[in-house]
Amino acid sequence: MSQHRHPGAPGRAGAVPALPDLPEATVARLPEYLRALHALADTGHETVSSEGLANAAGVNSAKLRKDLSHLGSYGTRGVGYDVTLLIDQIESVLGLTQCRSVALVGVGNLGHALAGYDGFASRGFRIAALLDADPSRVGEEINGLVVRHVDELPRVAVEESISIGVIATPAPAAQAVADQLVAVGVTSILNFAPCVLSVPEGVDVRKVDLAIELQILSFHEHRKASLTALPGGLAATETQEAIGT
């Protein structure tokens, strides 16, 4: 990954890439920009304005410009951003220039789907190993990969140079799996099990809980229903209902 340093980069210049210390919120949006940019590139666009890209990514254009400015200004005033250049930049910042190998633990319902999901491969991730604790599942072949027993993790981790672990086991098994992943040196975990994982400092865990998303939607649905139940009037008694205190 070729690199250059960023203007105004505070830190001591490392040999490798300057780490601009991106705001977390920005990092979370970069992948979305990347997706939108790929779509634009596929449709033949060579440049794009912040307005256009912001639209495609579903965000505010000022926010997008500020996000991009954090990684060092690759736009041209009056013109916009060069699509391919920006793609390269973002991929570089996200560390996607190298293909990362993923170990997927838990080949149940969800694990099966994840193993077959092509959205990973198409974005630079390789599912390098499928593991499960259930002996009856070991040996099964999914999408060209054979399921191995989770105890083989140490060997697999080295052979495939795993850099990310995905947990798709039932909740009760998740913590043990996380411990095993950490033990073999994995420092990034994506957890689909509905439970909190405790991991040592320096290990990143991201959690995806499908049911939680539905519950959040449920809240808004509930709220909308209550609002429409009251016709326009409403405001009679404002304020109060101070329950607390």
Which residue has 């990034």 as its token pair?
188
Residue 148 in contact with residue 138, Cβ under 8 Å?
Answer: yes
Q: Select from 16-24, 45-53, 78-86, 153-161 the region that touches its own copies (CB under 8 A).
A: 16-24
What is the amino acid identity at position 158? V
Residue 73 interacting with DNA (CB under 7 A): yes
C-alpha angle with apex 126: 125 to 130, nearest 5 degrees?
Answer: 130
The helix/strand/coil state of 125 is: strand
151 versus 191: smaller Cβ distance to its own copies = 191
Work out what residue 179 binds among its own copies, DNA, none; the CB cut-off runs from 5 to 8 Å by kind: none
Q: Considering only the stretches 23-31, 130-138, 145-153, 176-184, report the one whose residues sit in contact with its own copies under the rule CB under 8 A.
A: 23-31
Which residue among 10, 42, 58, 77 contacts DNA (CB under 7 A)? Answer: 77
Residues 47-76 contacting its own copies, CB under 8 A: 56-58, 69, 72-73
DSSP-assigned beta bridge partners for residue 188:
204
Strand boundaries in 78-215, DSSP class E: 80-82, 100-105, 125-132, 141-142, 145-149, 162-167, 188-191, 204-207
Binders of DNA among residues 121 to 180 (CB under 7 A) are none
Residues in the site for DNA, rule: CB under 7 A? 6, 23-26, 48-51, 59-63, 65-66, 68-69, 73-81, 242, 244-245
